[in-house]
Amino acid sequence: MKILQNYIKQSLFILFLSIFLPLFSIASIVFLIKMATYTAVIKLSLFEMSKLFFFMLPELLFYTLPISFFVAATLTLFKLSNDNEIIVLFALGIKPKFILKTLFVPALFLSTILLFNFFVLFPHAKVLSYNFLSYKKSEAKFNLSASEFGHKFGEWLLYIGKDNLDETYSDVILFNKKQNEEVLVGAKQAQIINDSGILRLKLTSGEGYSYSKEKFTQINFEVMFINDTMKTDLDEYQTALEYWFPKDSSLSSKMEKKLITNILLSIFPMLSLFAVASIGIIHARHQKGKIYLFLFLGIIIYYALAMSLQLLISAYALPVLTFGWLITTYAIYKKTIVAKF
């Protein structure tokens, strides 16, 4: 029995890799195309694009692994049926439930990985990805250059006289018009400084003028910082529980729906075993052409139910879809497999 279990698992593993790798490659290309659109707004080096892709890796794995397992497990049984090995096993007195028990171990292992992936790795990767893009977007606003036109710098209008080779600027003038006051600042040199995600402008050797109807003020300075004009909007979270159960009520409802959907997709490998057996174990002469149609329908129906039920009945979607899917697929399995074999 141990040899038979290893044989089935080995066949499953080979088919799983042959399906997962192309599916993962296609999904990766889609994500890379999406990443390429960011370059219209921000400048990304090859290393930064690799870093951003790494942040998206948990999401890629989450959506490709369950489908790969379902297809691979079904095709494993289909191959055994097509080679008449299933008939031999059943003739030797081996029951269909033995095959289900063999597949249950990798299904349970995969579902555990998926639950950990979305519940623990998702928050960390999502926050890192969002903060990275937010930082790059705010940094892109500082792509300043010398020209006859000014730049928008937060609440300031900024004019740069000259670009220097050492990433500094010369002959800088800033103007800020408030409700009752106007401020004009000129400096011989300016430099952009990144301080823990806060980008600020350092002015050196300059003068500042403030004037209104009541008064006129002048100051001379050696160094001046214009702070917090474009502070990067960063997300923060302490634990995975805080990410999935935020205190903000507007976010809480959205995260709850996403959490329910992700749980249902994570346990799909375990819930699909009866469907796998019903589709994969066939009479090779009569049912060969229907397997791919049933594979497609099984994935579409489950995913459609998982995404729609959480919108209709919220948390009740978990028990309804779990038990409903198990009862339905078991009834089909009992009618098509147990009754015949």
- Let me know how long the chain is: 341
Give residue 5's identity as a one-letter amino acid code.
Answer: Q
- Tell me the percentage of the chain whose pLDDT exceeds 70: 84
Distances (CA, A) of 7 to 85, 99, 209, 218, 335: 12, 11, 83, 86, 27
Output the pTM of the full model: 0.75
Question: Which tens digits make up the pLDDT trace of 104-145?
Answer: 999 999 999 999 999 988 888 888 887 777 776 666 555 555
Label residues 284-309 b or e (16+ Cβ within 10 Å = b). eeeeeeebeebbeebbeebbebbeeb
pLDDT at residue 197 above 80? no
Alpha-carbon distance 279 to 291, whole Å? 6
Q: Which of 20-34, 45-59, 134-148 has the lowest mean pLDDT?
A: 134-148
Residue with the bigger pLDDT between 42 and 327: it is: 327
Q: Which residue has the tokens 């011989």?
A: 188
Distances (CA, A) of 63 to 69, 265, 301, 307: 11, 8, 16, 13
Element (H, E) at 174: strand 168-177
Q: What is the mean pLDDT of residues 267-273?
A: 94
In sign, the C-alpha dihedral spanning 242, 245, 251, 255 is positive
Question: Taking Cα atoms as reference points, which of 139, 102, 142, 109 lies closest to residue 8?
Answer: 102
Label residues 192-229 b or e (16+ Cβ within 10 Å = b). eeeeeeebbbbbbebebebeeeeeeeeeeeeebebeeb
Q: What is the pLDDT of residue 245?
A: 80
Q: What is the mean pLDDT of residues 84-101?
A: 83
Q: Using N-to-C axis directions, what is the helix angle for 249-266 and 291-313, rounded to 10°?
A: 150
Domain boundaries, the chain: 2-139+236-338, 151-231
Which residues, at least 6 apart from 172, have a Cβ–Cβ distance to it below 8 Å? 158, 159, 160, 161, 186, 187, 188, 189, 190, 203, 206
Q: What is the mean pLDDT of residues 152-181?
A: 76
